[in-house]
Amino acid sequence: MWQCYHKSITMRTILVARGMDVSLLCPVCNEAPESIIHALRDCRYVRTFWNSFPTPFQPNLFYETNMLDWLRLNCCSSCPYSHLNIDWGIIFNYGL
């Protein structure tokens, strides 16, 4: 989580910015530049994972916020998750 928050996970967008000759595209979907938020939320394969959980937020709030707000909103959420009565923040952190 700390690495996400401080943008210190080495992704292709960061490698290219550092002058490395690599493709920007996500190696999983080959559809968009690989960034932290793409790898954790926006890649269509990752969306399938997140869509399997009924989040306590509206889909536009979950999928359209910037990375730092997305992490804060979900990690700190005490909304109960479904019928399990577990805070969404706990489920979300395990999902990451």
- DSSP secondary structure of the chain: -HHHHTT-S--HHHHHHTT-----B-TTTSSSB--HHIIIIISHHHHHHHHTS--SS-HHHHHHS-HHHHHHHHHT---EEGGGTEEHHHHHHHH-
- Give 1-39 pLDDT, tens digit per residue: 666 666 667 788 888 888 989 899 999 999 999 988 999
What's the whole-model pTM score? 0.79
- Give 72-88 pLDDT, tens digit per residue: 889 888 888 777 788 88
Residue 85, pLDDT score: 81
Average model confidence (pLDDT) across the chain? 86
In this predicted model, which residue has the larger pLDDT, 56 or 32?
32
